[in-house]
Amino acid sequence: MNYLEFEEPIRQLREQLAQAKELQEQSDVDMETLAQDLESKIREVTESIYSNLTPWQRVQVSRHPDRPYTLNYIDALTDGNFMELHGDRTVKDDKAMVGGFGFMDDQCVMFIGQQKGINTKMRQYRNFGMANPEGYRKALRLMRLAEKFNRPIVTLIDTPGAYPGLEAEERGQGEAIARNLIEMCQLRVPVICIVIGEGASGGALGIGIGDRVLMLENTWYSVISPESCSSILWRNWEHKKEAAEALKLTGTDMQSLGLVDGIIPEPLGGAHAQPDAMYKQLKKEIKKHLNKLVPMDSDKRIDQRIRKFSAMGVVNS
Amino acid sequence: MGWFKRIQEGITTKSTEKKEIPEGAWYQCPSCKTVVTSQQHVERMSVCNYCGHHDRIGSEGYFKILFDEGKFREIAPKITSSDPLEFEDTKTYTDRLEAAKKKTGLSDALRTASGELNGMPVVISCMDFQFIGGSMGSVVGEKIARGIDHALKKGCPFICISKSGGARMMEAGLSLMQMAKTSARLSLLSKAGLPYISVLTDPTTGGVTASFAMLGDMNIAEPNALIGFAGPRVVKETIGKELPEGFQRSEFLLEHGFLDAIVERKDLKEKLAFSLRAMGDFPKVQ
Ligand SMILES: [Zn+2]
C-alpha cells in the first residue's frame, strides 16, 4: 500500500490495526474490541479526509500509484472476456493506447484507453500513458471497426497528455488528435467516455468525444496540468495548488460548466482503496447509459452529440 | 502553450529595435535586416522583398488581401470573453482581457467575416496573434462556429486562417472544449459537401493545430511558419537535445505529409480561388 501525505492518519491507524491483529495471533490477548474500534475509526477518518479533498488533493488521488489503470478496468468489466487488438496499420503499435473487443455480460463493447504502467519498467514501456500519433490512429481504427459491426464504444481516459516528442511531431500529433475529434463526432454507434484518472488536454480529448462524458469522482480534466499551468503563468512550479484551484478541473466544476455529463462516485477512500467496489459501480453506470443510448436512432444520437459540444463555452454577446 | 514566453520575447525584441529605427516610418526585416519604409512594407503585404520573410499580420491584413475590394461584413463582431472561472494568476483574466483590448483595438483573438473572393461568396475566420497570443477561448470557438453556420446557410466555402499559441489557459476546460466544438461544426460542413480550407500561418501550435487547423479539405501554409502540436521548447526539453534545423516549419510539415501546399502571401488569394473552383461551384443550391 502506498499513502499520499494527506492519507497519513489512515496509514497510522492501519498500522495500529495490523499490530493489534499480530499481537492477537502471537498471544492469547483478546484484541477483538480494539480491532473493531480501529476499523470504525479508519472508516471515520477516511470519510472525513475524502469528503473534504481540495482540487490539488484530487489531482494527487487521480495519480495514486495503487489506482486501477485501464486494463484493470477492462479486465474486471468483462470478467476477462477481452481480446486486445494492436496496431494502427501504418507505423506501429503504441503501448500507451490499448483497445479491443470485450464482452460485458452479454454485450460486446469496444474498449479503448490510455494505459499507464505499474512499475518503473512498465511505466517506460507504456510511455507514462502518453500516446504518440499512432496511438490516436489505432484508437480511430478500432472505433471504425466497432462502427462497422455496430458495437458501442467505451473509452477510458487516463493520460498526463499526448507525448510531446520529436517523432510525435514528425508523424503529426496535432493532425492525429484533430482527426479523432471530427471523426468521433460522426460515429454512428454510441460512445461513452470516462475519465478514470488524469484527463490532460488534447491528449485526453483525442479519445473524449462521446454521447456521455463522465468523470470518476477523484479525477481531473482540463486544458493543462496544474504544474505546467503554474510554470507558465507563475513562472515556477510552486503554485500548483493555486493552479489546481484556478483551473476548475474537478468533476463537480466541469459538470457545473456543462463540459461533462456526470460524475461517478468512488468507494470510500478512492478507487484504489476498494477497486472491486469501483469496478462494480462503473459497470452499473456504463450499462445504465448504454441502455439509453443503444436503442436511439443513430442520426438523432449524432445530432445530440454535436449539439452538446456546440453549446460549450461562455461568452458575452 | 508557449505563447506567454513568446509575447515577452516579442516585447523585448521590439524595444531594442526601436532604438535603432524611428517607429512608424521604417521597417527592418528581422531575417535579413533590410530596411524599407513602413509604407513599402505594407504595400508588399508585409513580406520582405529581399529574403521573402513573411511578417506576421492579423485579420485586418488578411481580410484586405483576400476579400474582393477589401469589402466584407463581419459576423458576430460584438461577442466578447467573459470570465466564468474568475481566473486569477499573477493578474486577473479580466485585467488581461482589458489590456489586450486596449493594446490591439480588437475584441478577441479571432474575427469572422463574409464577403466575396474572386466573385465567389466565402466565409473567412482569421486569428489575431496580438490578442493574448492568439489563444483559443470561448469567443474564438463561438466565432468559428458562427462562421461555419453562416457558410452552411449560404452553401458557401469556409476558410480559416490560424495563428495561435494554442489554448487560453484562463478559460481552462472551456478552452479545451473549443477544440471539440469547432470540430463538431466542421463535421457538419463536411457532411454538407462544402469546402473548408485551413490556412496555417506563423505560429500555429497547441490545441489549434490539434483541431480545426489540421482539418482542412486542403491545408495550406505560408512559408517558414512554425506549426506544431507541442511547442519547440517543450519538445526540446522532452528529448534533451537540440532540434534539427527547420523542425516544425511549413517545409518540414509538407515533407512529412501534413500540408497540401506552401503558398506565398502574394499568391494566397489566387491559390485559394483556384482551390475553391476545383472543389465546385458555390454557392451550392440546397
Ligand atoms: Zn528580409
- Note the ipTM here: 0.96
Same domain, A10 and A131: no
In this prediction, residues A50-78 reach a mean pLDDT of 97
The predicted-structure confidence for A238-270, as pLDDT tens digits, reads as follows: 999 999 999 999 999 999 999 999 999 999 999
Same domain, A45 and A180: no
Is A245 contained in some domain? yes
In this prediction, residues A155-159 reach a mean pLDDT of 98
Report the percentage of chain B scoring pLDDT > 90.
90
**Interchain contact, A309 vs B247, CB within 8 Å:** no
pLDDT of residue A31: 83
- Which residues of A fall within a CB distance of 8 Å from B78? 317
**Chain A to chain B Cβ contacts (< 8 Å):** 202
Same domain, A10 and A102: no
Is A317 contained in some domain? no
Same domain, A62 and A26: no
| DSSP E strands, chain B | 26-28, 35-37, 72-75, 80-81, 110-117, 120-127, 158-164, 196-204, 218-221, 261-262
Of the pLDDT bands very low, low, confident and very high (cuts 50, 70, 90), residue B185 is very high
Q: For chain B, first and last CA: distance in Å?
A: 41
Of the pLDDT bands very low, low, confident and very high (cuts 50, 70, 90), residue B195 is very high
Same domain, A194 and A260: yes
Mean residue pLDDT across chain B: 92
Report the percentage of chain A scoring pLDDT > 90.
94
Is A315 contained in some domain? no
The predicted-structure confidence for B32-69, as pLDDT tens digits, reads as follows: 999 999 999 999 999 999 999 999 999 999 999 999 99
pLDDT of B239 strictly over 90: yes
The predicted-structure confidence for B4-16, as pLDDT tens digits, reads as follows: 444 444 444 444 4
**Interchain contact, A174 vs B214, CB within 8 Å:** yes
CB A150 within 8 A of CB A175: no
CB A306 within 8 A of CB A212: no
Nearest-Cα distance to chain A for B44, in Å, is 32
Is A246 contained in some domain? yes
Is A214 contained in some domain? yes
Same domain, A46 and A66: no
In this prediction, residues A120-126 reach a mean pLDDT of 97
B278 grid coordinates: 476545383
The predicted-structure confidence for A172-197, as pLDDT tens digits, reads as follows: 999 999 999 999 999 999 999 999 99
How buried is residue A286: exposed, middle or buried, by Cβ count under 10 Å (0-12/13-18/19+)?
A: buried
In this prediction, residues A129-143 reach a mean pLDDT of 98
For residue B218, how far is its CA from the centre of ligand 1 (angstroms)? 28
Nearest-Cα distance to chain B for A100, in Å, is 24
pLDDT of residue B69: 97
For residue B50, how far is its CA from the centre of ligand 1 (angstroms)? 5
A178: nearest CB among B169, B214, B230: B214
What chain B residue is nearest to A174 in terms of C-alpha separation?
B210
CB B172 within 8 A of CB A312: no
In this prediction, residues B218-233 reach a mean pLDDT of 97
Is A199 contained in some domain? yes
pLDDT of residue B8: 43
- Which residues of A fall within a CB distance of 8 Å from B177? 205, 259, 309, 312-313
pLDDT of residue B18: 43
The residues spanned by each domain of chain B are 8-55, 56-279
Rounded to 10 deg, the angle between the B172-191 and A173-185 helix axes is: 70
Number of domains in chain A: 2
- The residue that leads in pLDDT, B21 or B180, is B180
B215: nearest CB among A166, A178, A201: A178
pLDDT of B285 strictly over 90: no
**Interchain contact, B229 vs A202, CB within 8 Å:** yes
In this prediction, residues A94-123 reach a mean pLDDT of 97
Nearest-Cα distance to chain B for A140, in Å, is 15
A170 touches chain B (CB under 8 A): yes
Nearest-Cα distance to chain B for A150, in Å, is 21
A41 touches chain B (CB under 8 A): no
**Other beta carbons within 10 Å of B220:** 22
In this prediction, residues B213-237 reach a mean pLDDT of 97
B176 touches chain A (CB under 8 A): yes
**Interchain contact, B173 vs A248, CB within 8 Å:** yes
What chain A residue is nearest to B166 in terms of C-alpha separation?
A223
Of the pLDDT bands very low, low, confident and very high (cuts 50, 70, 90), residue A317 is confident
pLDDT of residue B201: 98
Mean residue pLDDT across chain A: 96
What chain B residue is nearest to A241 in terms of C-alpha separation?
B89
What CATH number does the domain located at B56-279 have?
3.90.226.10
Of the pLDDT bands very low, low, confident and very high (cuts 50, 70, 90), residue B3 is very low
- Which residues of B fall within a CB distance of 8 Å from A170? 252, 256
The predicted-structure confidence for B164-176, as pLDDT tens digits, reads as follows: 999 999 999 999 9
Is A32 contained in some domain? yes
For residue B41, how far is its CA from the centre of ligand 1 (angstroms)? 11
The predicted-structure confidence for A265-292, as pLDDT tens digits, reads as follows: 999 999 999 999 999 999 999 999 999 9
Same domain, A34 and A72: no
**Interchain contact, A246 vs B89, CB within 8 Å:** yes
A181: nearest CB among B87, B139, B183: B183
CA A297 to chain CA centroid, Å, is 28
Same domain, A137 and A63: yes
In this prediction, residues B108-122 reach a mean pLDDT of 98
Rounded to 10 deg, the angle between the A8-26 and A32-50 helix axes is: 170
pLDDT of residue A29: 79
Indicate the range of A32-36, A88-92, A147-151, A227-231 predicted with least confidence: A32-36
Same domain, A117 and A245: yes
Q: What is the pTM of this model?
A: 0.94
Report the percentage of chain B scoring pLDDT > 70.
92
B178 touches chain A (CB under 8 A): yes
Query: CA-to-CA distance for A172 and B253, rounded, in angstroms?
Result: 8
- Which residues of A fall within a CB distance of 8 Å from B146? none
Of the pLDDT bands very low, low, confident and very high (cuts 50, 70, 90), residue B1 is very low
Strands A153-159, A191-200: pairing is parallel
B141 touches chain A (CB under 8 A): yes
**Interchain contact, A170 vs B256, CB within 8 Å:** yes
Q: Write out residues 111-140 of B within 8 Å (CB-CB) of A.
A: 137-139
Closest of B148, B161, B187 to residue A184, by C-alpha: B187
Same domain, A272 and A176: yes
Measured at the alpha carbon of residue B161, what is the angle toward residues B155 and B166, in degrees to the nearest 5? 120
Query: CA-to-CA distance for B50 and B20, rounded, in angstroms?
Result: 20
pLDDT of residue B15: 42
In this prediction, residues A66-82 reach a mean pLDDT of 98
Measured at the alpha carbon of residue B132, what is the angle toward residues B56 and B40, in degrees to the nearest 5? 20
Is A190 contained in some domain? yes
pLDDT of residue B22: 57
Question: What is the domain range of residue A14?
Answer: 5-52
Query: CA-to-CA distance for B16 and B36, rounded, in angstroms?
Result: 18
pLDDT of residue A228: 94
pLDDT of residue A30: 82
* CATH code for position A90: 3.90.226.10
